[in-house]
Structure formats: structure tokens, C-alpha cells
Amino acid sequence: MPSIIITGGPGSGKSTLLDALQEQGFNTVPEVSRGLIREQVALQSTCLPWLDLNAFAALCLDRMEADFRSADANAITFFDRGIPDIVAYLRVGGLESSPVLSAAVGQWRYAPTVFVAPPWEAIYINDDERWQTFEESAVLYEAVCQVYQEAGYHVVTLPFGTVEERVRFVLKMLINEF
């Protein structure tokens, strides 16, 4: 069964949508970077995206590959971000993707349609793991769209609306695709 990506810039409602899909019985995989940031802060590590983006990207890749491998092959699984997101974050940070990351983007393929949440200032908030400004979130959104398209995915922009409306949109698109 497909592994479906829900992505976009920070603070655009991705995690809320994933929570709603999980409440409806779907398998979901939370965003790796938020958990890693909490872990690295607790360890007083410099392996944080604002201190050492390359090292942080390598940690994200390890976790995302493990998440991909552990997804239930017999059920639809929704992922809060995918491996190509790492490329987008590095690109926005002015860094190149490693050969290992580039190979992983090709090896670990998700469903061909990727859902992208656009920047939405009305719901955007900062927290301990989301340090970017709204403007930086919008730049990341553009980079994410570009990277997924370059990797051969069909990018579908999520509509603004309630969580329930977004859930219906995603499920309707999936019924039409599968």
C-alpha cells in the first residue's frame, strides 16, 4: 500500500491534518525533525538545524529511512514529511545534498502524489522546535514543492479550510488515484 507524504513549510497545518487522519484509523508517521530537535536539545548537542544543518540532516535521513522501512506494507501510511524534504531544507540553508541523501531520494519512493500545505499566516505560530519566521516558512514551502517536482512527484496543494475539509480533500484525491 502507498506511503503518502503530507508536507509543506513549517506551521502550515500538516501535523494537525495527520492527527485527524490518524483519528480516522489511518497509519501515520510523525515529523522526524521535531522529535530530533527535542532529543538533541536535551543532550545539549550541537546537532541542531540552526547550528549544524548537515549533521542534523544526516540524523533525519537515518530516522526517515527507518520509518519508511517500518511502515505497514498492507495499509496506507501518511508521513509528516518525506526524505526529499531534507534536500529542500539543505537547499534553503545554502548547502548541497550528499550523495547518500541523493541516492535515498531515489531509493525510498513514496506514492506518486504528494500533498503540500501552503503557507498560512492565520495559523502560523512559533514554538520550541519551529524557529523560522512566517516568511522563512514560505520560502521552505517553495523549495519543498520544487524538490518534490524535481524528484518526479505530482505535487497537489492542499486547500485552505478546516481540518475536516482537508481530510475530505485528501481522501477524495486518493480514491481517484487508487
User: pLDDT by residue (tens digit) across 64-79?
Assistant: 999 999 998 888 999 9
Instruction: Report domain extents, the chain.
Output: 3-177
- Of 44 and 138, the one with more pLDDT: 44
Say what the pTM is.
0.89
Q: What is the CATH number of domain 3-177?
A: 3.40.50.300
pLDDT tens per residue across span 85-108: 999 999 999 999 999 999 999 999
**Rounded-to-integer distance, Cα 145 and Cα 141, Å:** 6
pLDDT tens per residue across span 17-31: 999 999 999 999 998
Task: Kindly tell me the burial class for residue 172, based on how many C-beta atoms sit within 10 Å of its own C-beta (0-12, 13-18, 19 or more).
Answer: exposed
Helix orientation angle between 83-92 and 53-70, rounded to the nearest 10 degrees: 170
